[in-house]
Amino acid sequence: MGLCVDLGMKKLYPLLSVLFLIYWGCDDPKEEDTEKPTVSISYPLNNSTVSEMVTINCISSDNEGVEKVELWVNGVSTDISDDTEPYSLDWNTTTYDDGSYVITIRSYDTSGNTTDSEPITLMVDNSGSYPQPVSITSIDYTLTEMTIIWSQSTESDFDHYELLVSENVDGNKSLLEEVNEQDNNTYVLTEFDPTQSRWYWITVVDVYGYSTISSGYNVLDDNPTPVELYPISYDNNSFIITWSMNNDYDFYYYKLYQSFSEDMSNQVLVYETNDIGDTTYVVTDIDDGELRFYQVVIIDIFGLQAGSMILWGFSSSNPCSIYNPSSITNVIPAAGCYQYGYKFTQLVEKTVCQIDYMYSFGTGRIGYARIYTTDNQTLISSTPITTTSTGEWSSVSVIPVTLNANTNYTIVIDLNNSNEGGDWSNGNDDNVVYDSDLISYISGVYEELSHDIYPSLTWNGYWGAVKMVY
């Protein structure tokens, strides 16, 4: 009997243990967290204008804890979030068009509850976000290198420069080089042809992709500076030919050409030199009475060239007698010697070698000194001139031309830039030098001057005077 009871108690022990664990392992059911977090935007203020990258600050809290805050724009998530206090979100406005946007911050707590902040409105305006332009300051070149230099960008959000090139100002631009260092504002080309026109630009690009392009810079090598061929002298059966020295850095050589025609047709090369200081050459074995024409051509290292004016050499021991009086008191010459003015009668046969002139048009005007027969208005001599010193005599050599005895001639300075001469019938006063106080313009023909010309000349509008030297 005792054995049975003992055995029964032993069977109850495991059951009691299980019941005990169940009793003590059960707790009251945990309540579900339904409390939403709080969130508010602290910066920027409502209706602010923003640009580029703007930082949006917010304050959020929750009874259980905030998991993260997230930026929403116009009701759409940007996937921009922050999970650490203080909460801030960087919004790149450069990916949006300029305009008005509604901004909210959504806060998430650790239980999955969410709350949206009160919305604010921000005005995006990136019109002033473009980088300040830089400019190409110089493009210089030698025979082997072209160096491009531009001003340095001072943008704090600088990203890189882009050097662009095109064959013409309105053509498609190609990327020549991208330069990432802000203080590197020089680029050197080793393959270039300055005889072919090229346009260059420099663009500044910032980290947001905004860019500003400079004005174009054109590179086209200028023709060499022409030299001045001085009047050719004749001595001991030789023409002494001299010219001014060229000072261009890309000088290569001079070439002296000779022709028996005024237009340099059938010209022949008589001398060439690459010595920039060698500016004299003597043509020997010239017979008496020969008329030859000469021109000096300068060529640079790139093959471009420019020619001087064409001058003549006349092999006569005394072709002209040069006369340059310091003043003129009588414009009516004696015995057909030195003719002053415009219309005159040649009394004896003479050969004209030089025309002297003065004017009030200022320097740099281009025209022609011309001699006409007055009666039939035939042009018998035309020599190009470029005006120099106002109010002083200037001289130009002309191809020797014989004036017949007892023949009427008219000599003018014609500022019509055409070698055919001005129109005698149109009365266009701008084509010729004149002054109403000194010259009477009748039917397009200049009359003799009847007043003192120099130095007591009255300055009254445009004026001028010419004379021939025999």
How high is the pLDDT of residue 470?
A: 56
Single-letter amino acid code for the residue at 404? N
Q: How confident is the model at residue 428 (pLDDT cuts 50, 70, 90)?
A: very low
* CA atoms within 13 Å, Cβ hemisphere of 206: 20
Instruction: Using the 3D structure, point to which of 264, 298, 314 is the last residue of a domain.
Output: 314
Tell me the residue ranges of DSSP E strands in 110-232.
Answer: 114-116, 120-124, 136-141, 146-150, 158-166, 174-179, 186-189, 198-206, 211-213, 217-219
How high is the pLDDT of residue 415?
A: 57
Q: Which residue in 412, 409, 447, 448 sits closest to 430, CA to CA?
A: 412
- In this model, does residue 121 exceed pLDDT 80? yes
Q: Is residue 323 part of a domain?
A: no
Quote the tokens at residue 382: 């035309």
Per-residue pLDDT tens digits for 16-54: 555 555 554 555 566 888 899 999 999 999 999 999 999
Tell me: do 368 and 447 sit in the same domain: yes
Q: How far apart are CA 437 and CA 265, in angstroms?
A: 44
Tell me: do 194 and 238 sit in the same domain: no
Concatenated DSSP letters for 73-127? Answer: ETTEEEEEEE-SSSEEEEEEGGGS-SEEEEEEEEEEETTS-EEEPPPEEEEE--T
Q: Is residue 130 part of a domain?
A: no
Instruction: Decide if 465 contacts 356 (C-beta within 8 A).
Output: no
Tell me: do 366 and 447 sit in the same domain: yes
Q: How far apart are CA 388 and CA 391, in angstroms?
A: 9
Q: How confident is the model at residue 232 (pLDDT cuts 50, 70, 90)?
A: confident
Q: What is the mean pLDDT of the chain?
A: 77
Q: How many domains does the chain have?
A: 4
**Domain of residue 273, residue span:** 233-314
Per-residue pLDDT tens digits for 256-303: 999 998 889 999 999 999 999 999 999 999 987 788 889 999 999 999
Per-residue pLDDT tens digits for 387-417: 666 656 677 777 778 878 777 777 766 655 5
How high is the pLDDT of residue 261?
A: 87
Phi, psi of 8, rounded to the nearest 5 degrees: -70, -40
Q: Is residue 398 part of a domain?
A: yes
Please state, in angstroms and as integers, the Cα–Cα distance from residue 211 to each residue in 159, 230, 237, 240, following that order: 10, 55, 71, 62
Mean pLDDT of 189-217: 94
Instruction: Using the 3D structure, point to which of 81, 100, 124 is the last residue of a domain.
Output: 124
Q: Which helix (H) or strand (E) holds 15?
A: helix 2-25
Name the pTM for this structure.
0.53
- CATH no. for residue 143? 2.60.40.10
Instruction: Decide if 357 contacts 385 (C-beta within 8 A).
Output: yes
Q: Is residue 335 part of a domain?
A: no
Q: Is residue 19 part of a domain?
A: no
Instruction: Decide if 380 contacts 401 (C-beta within 8 A).
Output: yes
Tell me: do 115 and 48 sit in the same domain: yes
If phi > 0 it is left, if psi is from -120 to 50 it is alpha, else beta; for residue 268 that is beta
Q: Is residue 3 part of a domain?
A: no
Tell me: do 374 and 428 sit in the same domain: yes
Tell me: do 347 and 456 sit in the same domain: yes
Tell me: do 459 and 352 sit in the same domain: yes
Tell me: do 213 and 237 sit in the same domain: no
Tell me: do 307 and 377 sit in the same domain: no
